[in-house]
């Protein structure tokens, strides 16, 4: 069975629960790490502090509206840091603001998905993310860093 490590950067407990459940129902053996703010995401990715023993993720699901450091700032740092820039970043957010969409792509987000409001639509969206980014796309091999 194919396995992938996903880093979910999300501060909303409900969305964390929904995403976790949707991914657990999939056909892929996922390792899901969750952090709840932008600073923790960067610590995780740079293996600092309590995250020093974590492996780099294969894929990042990143919310735009985060405490401490917003998702667009985190995205910019990921895509301008040599050992991180190859990791695909999916902006998964409630924001449908054109400025957030444009800035995300300008900062090299791999895709931008506005979270559906309806529960079944949200679960379907996560399943499609999983199917495309895990079953169809060839991701770069994880680096030890």
Number of domains, the chain: 1
Residue 69 domain-assigned (yes or no): yes
Residue 145 domain-assigned (yes or no): no
Question: What is the average per-residue pLDDT within 119-145?
Answer: 73
Q: Which residue segment(s) compose the domain that 121 sits in?
A: 3-135
pLDDT at position 125 over 90: no
pLDDT attached to residue 110: 92
DSSP element (H, E) containing 20: helix 13-24
Mean pLDDT estimate for the chain: 86
Any idea what the CATH number is for the domain that residue 112 is in? 3.40.50.2300
Residue 141 domain-assigned (yes or no): no
How far does CA 91 lie from the centroid of its chain?
A: 7
What does the block give as tokens for 25?
């129902």
pLDDT at position 28 over 70: no
**139 to 9, 39, 54, 109, 113: CA distances (angstroms):** 19, 25, 19, 15, 19
Residue 101 domain-assigned (yes or no): yes
Q: Return the percentage of the chain with pLDDT > 70, whole number.
A: 90
- Of 130, 132, 143, 145, residue with least CA distance to 32: 130
Q: What pLDDT, in 10s, does the model give residues 77-90?
A: 999 999 999 999 99
């Amino acid at each position: 069975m194919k396995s992938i490590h996903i880093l979910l950067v999300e501060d909303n407990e409900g969305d964390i629960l929904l995403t976790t459940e949707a991914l657990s129902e999939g056909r892929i053996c996922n390792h899901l790490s969750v952090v709840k703010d932008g600073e923790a995401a960067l610590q995780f990715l740079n293996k600092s502090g309590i995250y020093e023993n974590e492996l780099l993720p294969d894929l990042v699901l990143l919310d735009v509206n985060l405490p401490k450091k917003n998702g667009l700032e985190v995205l910019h740092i990921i895509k301008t840091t040599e050992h991180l820039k190859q990791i695909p970043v999916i902006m998964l957010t409630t924001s449908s603001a054109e400025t957030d969409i444009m800035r995300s792509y300008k900062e090299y987000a791999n895709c931008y998905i506005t979270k559906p409001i309806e529960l079944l639509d949200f679960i379907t969206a996560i399943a499609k993310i999983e199917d495309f980014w895990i079953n169809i796309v060839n991701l770069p091999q994880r680096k030890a860093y």
